[in-house]
Amino acid sequence: MSSLTIKQLRSIDDGFDTALNQLLAWESVSDGNLQQTVADIIQQVRTEGDAALCRLSDQFDRFPVESMAQLSLGAIEIAAAFERLPAQQKAALRFSAERVTAYHEKQIAQSWRYTDDLGVVLGQQVTAMDRVGIYVPGGVAPLASSVIMNALPAKVAGVRDIIMTTPAPGGQVNDFVLGAAFVAGVTEVYLLGGAQAIAALAYGTETVPAVDKIVGPGNAYVATAKQQVFGKVGIDMIAGPSEILVICDGLTDPDWIAMDLFSQAEHSHDAQAILISHDAEFLRRTLAAIERLLPTMERADTIRRSLNARGAFIWVPKLDDAKALINKIAPEHLELSVADPEAWLPDIRHAGAIFMGRHTSEALGDYCAGPNHVLPTSGTARFFSPLGVYDFQKRSSLIGASASAASELGKVVSVLARGELLTAHARSAEQRIND
């Protein structure tokens, strides 16, 4: 078992900026060979449809099937999986779904219109997408929460069909994941994984319907496939490893902070957990807590490797100095474990989700607080937002000109269009000028 060697950085040291940049650096593992492999899989699905999906299921998921009927689950089977769950899991899934639904209902955009001084009716019509696909990984962790967070915003938006794909290695499918699909309003499930699932959702096959948008996390094959089908369909984002940044004033129980850091480090070897404080003694006590608690963790090896590779403790002279680092890091999850977290909010410009106060662990947001846990990673919180209802709604502009308004606007169009040498545009508008 390897030793624990979390990086210790000081913001005042020479070379700190370089060290921080190296710590934050994350490059996709999608090399040329992987890109070609994924492109080949997508082409097989596009040209052979269901036959390719059956063949690839055997090749990649060790699940030999003779027809898509063995890879398809309908409403009755999804509901049956929920009923097989223990009562406690059923109650927890319903509780989470209710809170996530209530939060996302506040995001619904409404259509609007007005009439301007020329009498032109202007506005925006908001409509839901017809059909979306959600991808749910099928690794060691049965990610029921991922189903809820990806499907419910679409349901709240009014999406008619929510199609879920999830791999079933060896033919095994997890009832907890299917139970989450039931409470989240998923309409169809296909036991497909990897790039072939993304290709099926993007292009459709004889059995799998093509969707308008694909959301959900996945491995390098899934992420690469989403990149390659973007444009044919919409996608949410290309997610990197999980991240947490904790800011602490030194007054929170070090055991709490240690476990908060573990909560992201346990996701994968590439996950990142960073703690910033101005209290050097608190940093030492938190490191001691980590070393004491780590052997008790079920995923201790993954946590250790994550902390060694990409974890860090950063000392700053004043706690306020952490604000600039927050905006530079632009973390997926930001915990403000301080006495007055509200006072920090005006200075925070870049963060996926902000957890305010000592009692608000990041884990609450992952499962049942209400906001979405699909968040921008790898610094993309500078320009991306959490997944939400708005990701499943479209906006159409409305323009309605009266005869007099068309005449007035047409005069300006004539000048502008002729200036661009687009005479058909100009003449189209000029035909409606009435003086």
The structure tokens listed for 15 are 């070379």
**H or E element, residue 400:** strand 393-400
For 387, residues 6+ apart whose C-beta sits below 8 A from its C-beta are 149, 150, 153, 215, 236, 372, 374, 375
Q: Which residues are annotated as a binding site for substrate?
A: 242, 264, 267, 333, 366, 420, 425
Q: Are 198 and 205 in contact (CB under 8 A)?
A: no
| DSSP label of 414 | H
In degrees, to the nearest 5, what angle opens at C-alpha 165 toward C-alphas 376 and 213?
Answer: 50
Q: Are 217 and 85 in contact (CB under 8 A)?
A: no
Q: Are 70 and 184 in contact (CB under 8 A)?
A: no
Q: Exposed/middle/buried for 435, CB within 10 Å: 0-12, 13-18, 19+?
A: exposed
Q: Are 143 and 429 in contact (CB under 8 A)?
A: no
User: Is 104 an annotated catalytic residue?
Assistant: no
Catalytic residue among 188, 243, 266, 332: 332
**H or E element, residue 189:** strand 188-190
Q: Which residues are annotated as a binding site?
A: 135, 196, 219, 242, 264, 267, 333, 366, 420, 425
Residue-by-residue pLDDT tens, the chain, 435 positions: 568 999 999 999 999 999 999 999 987 556 789 999 999 999 999 999 999 999 999 999 889 999 999 999 999 999 999 999 999 999 999 999 999 999 999 999 999 999 999 999 999 999 999 999 999 998 666 889 999 999 999 999 999 999 999 999 888 889 999 999 999 999 999 999 999 999 999 999 999 999 999 999 988 899 999 999 999 999 998 888 999 999 999 999 999 999 999 999 999 999 999 999 999 999 999 999 999 999 999 999 999 999 999 999 999 999 999 999 999 999 999 999 999 999 999 999 999 999 999 999 999 999 999 999 999 999 999 999 999 999 999 999 999 999 999 999 999 999 999 999 999 999 999 999 997
From the list 305, 311, 220, the residue with the least C-alpha distance to 269 is: 305
From the list 2, 88, 48, 23, the residue with the least C-alpha distance to 304 is: 2
Q: Which residues are annotated as a binding site for NAD(+)?
A: 135, 196, 219
Q: Read out DSSP for 264-313?
A: HHTT-TT-EEEEEES-HHHHHHHHHHHHHHGGG-TTHHHHHHHHHHH-EE
pLDDT given for residue 435 in this prediction: 79
For 83, 174, 238, 270, 408, the CA distances from 89, given in Å and listed in that order, are 10, 13, 30, 30, 64
What is the rounded CA–CA span in Å between residue 177 and residue 148? 9
pLDDT given for residue 1 in this prediction: 52
pLDDT given for residue 29 in this prediction: 54
What is the rounded CA–CA span in Å between residue 202 and residue 316? 47
Tell me if residue 132 falls in helix, strand or coil.
strand
Alpha-carbon Rg of the chain, whole angstroms? 25
Q: Provide the β-strand partners of residue 354.
A: 334
- Walk me through the domains of the chain, giving residue ranges and CATH numbers: 7-26+240-369 (3.40.50.1980), 32-108+127-235 (3.40.50.1980), 401-430 (no CATH)
Terminal CA-to-CA distance of the chain, rounded, Å? Answer: 87
- Specify the pairing of strand 353-356 against strand 112-115: unpaired
Q: Provide the β-strand partners of residue 276.
A: 247, 314
3-state DSSP percent of the chain in helix, strand and coil, to 5: 50, 15, 35
Q: Using DSSP, how many helices (H) and how many strands (E) does the chain show?
A: 16, 15
User: Is 332 an annotated catalytic residue?
Assistant: yes
Threshold 0.85, pTM exceeds: yes
**H or E element, residue 196:** helix 194-203
Catalytic residue among 104, 278, 333, 350: 333
pLDDT given for residue 54 in this prediction: 96
What is the rounded CA–CA span in Å between residue 267 and residue 30? 20
pLDDT given for residue 111 in this prediction: 98
pLDDT given for residue 138 in this prediction: 80
The residue type of 174 is: N
The structure tokens listed for 395 are 């906006």
What is the rounded CA–CA span in Å between residue 142 and residue 82? 14
Q: Provide the β-strand partners of residue 209.
A: none
b/e sequence 140-173, b meaning 16+ C-beta within 10 Å: eebbbbbbbbbbbbbbbbebebbbbbbbbeeeeb
